[in-house]
Amino acid sequence: MTSLLIRGGRLIDPSQDLDRTGDLLIRDGKIAGAGDVAGHVDEEIDAEGMIVVPGLIDLHAALRDPGDEEDETTFTGTAAALAGGFTSIACLPDTTPAIDNRAAAEFAILQAARARNCHVYPLGAVTKNLNGEELAEMGQLVDGGAVGFSDGKNPIHNAEIMRRALEYSRMFDRPIFNFPEVEELSRSGIMHEGYYSTLLGLRGMPAAAESIMVSRDLALAEMTEGRLHVTTVTVSNSVQQILQAKEAGVKVTCSVTPHHLALDDSTLQRFDAAFKVNPPLRSQDHIDSLIRGLKDGTIDAISSDHQPYSVEKKRNELDEAPFGIAGLETVIPICIQTLIDPGHLSWLQLIDKLSTRPARILGLSKGTLRENSTADVTLIDPDAEWTIEPEQFYSRGRNTPFAGWTVKGRAETVLVNGQVRFHQGQLLSRANPVA
């Protein structure tokens, strides 16, 4: 048995309402104790000044593998996850071919095992080939390791298909992730419909395109008693509807992204495709609603919504460039800037939304520092100042709107199954100790 002691860090664990300075002992890949630990250990990590938390968990990230390896691979995507402090990610099924059968789900897990970075849990497709017409074999996907179901950025537009998906998923206690968009309202849109879209002469994507889909899905979730997860909530009406549904007992959770908190639609005045995302960046009144939703618990989690693309694709004209940012490596500093520094959330609340709550949504026995739990641990240096340089990303995607920003806070050390996989900006193999 091997032992590792993380000494003198600020231990934060929402699952135990824990926030105190102390040591964390890891033995044979498991948490062996927290507090003041004495006795012989094989290895130590000095965590003074660090925040020691359960490994971060991302609810939906695109790995592009197989099919679009020029944008991302399983290795580069999981390396980016480690650099961002994530020990587990749920990968979207929008690969080529799609993750719509058992073999495809098992392939995603096998590729992650080969990469030897972080855990990868596939989200199986709701419909075959993500075309919205016929349900995928959900039972086979679960057998292959799927932790939930999603059609990625393809909204499930057919209400009958969505109803059946919610009903069938109840048998496996898995959530249905749906992207909240009525495509008829947002098709050909570039940005949020409002003052700036009018000013710039760009086709808008109205807030109603999201809130109408949210309303429909909440009604179906109530009718079927299935588990619904609304991805990338961005508008105030959606937040209000979800709050009311939760109060009525509907099984619904939702998530938001850091970039929808940090940026508004005025940034599109630059005509820079780095700011082109879907859902689009909204106006400040919507951002204020998102922050209130995070504070009162209506919004359960924060996800990177990692959508990496090659430089060549994002260099296209604004109307031709794809939507999305490579978000895994910038989550921590952007959350500090938008939520911690202004006092909107405490560190305990933030880690709950980045680790403990995502684990519960996905049904994973993670997101905790409890004794005997798997030692997936992230050490965060909250005061580290650095400049976001996309060229330094581990991800193949360089598409970020935060290029050149001077920020603070980053993952210092990341442990997966009790083994140091990332330390001071460097990937480490399983055999490499901390220097």
Q: Kindly report, residue by residue over 256-292, the tens digit of the pLDDT.
A: 999 999 999 999 999 999 999 999 999 999 999 999 9
Cis peptide before 97, with omega less than 30 degrees from 0? yes
pLDDT given at position 144 = 98
**Whether residue 40 has pLDDT greater than 90:** no
pLDDT given at position 9 = 97
215 near 194, Cβ under 8 Å? Answer: no
**Whether residue 304 has pLDDT greater than 80:** yes
Residue 371 inside a domain? The answer is: no
- CA dist list (Å): 44 to 2, 26, 37, 87, 413: 11, 10, 12, 20, 12
- For residue 288, the enclosing domain spans 55-362
Residue 129 inside a domain? The answer is: yes
Catalytic residue among 68, 94, 305, 376: 305
pLDDT given at position 429 = 57
Q: Which H or E element spans position 31?
A: strand 30-35
DSSP code of residue 337: I
Q: Is 28 a catalytic residue?
A: no
Cα pseudo-dihedral 353, 330, 241, 59, rounded to 10: -60
pLDDT, mean of residues 390-415: 98
Q: Considering its fold, how many domains does the chain have in total?
A: 1
Give the confidence band of 253 by pLDDT, cuts at 50, 70, 90: very high
Q: Identify the CATH number of the domain in which residue 200 sits.
A: 3.20.20.140
294 near 344, Cβ under 8 Å? Answer: yes
Residue 24 inside a domain? The answer is: no
CB atoms within 10 A of CB 305: 29
pLDDT given at position 96 = 96
* Tokens standing for residue 282: 């909204």
Residue 404 inside a domain? The answer is: no
pLDDT, mean of residues 190-209: 98
Residue 273 inside a domain? The answer is: yes
Query: What does the buried/exposed string (b/e) look like for 15-48 if buried means 16 or more CB atoms within 10 Å of the residue's CB?
Result: beebeeebbbbbbebebbbbeebeeebeeebebe
Residue 433 inside a domain? The answer is: no
pLDDT given at position 35 = 73
User: Mean pLDDT over all residues of the chain?
Assistant: 96
Residue 326 inside a domain? The answer is: yes
Residue 100 inside a domain? The answer is: yes
Numbers of helices and strands, H then E, in the chain: 14, 19
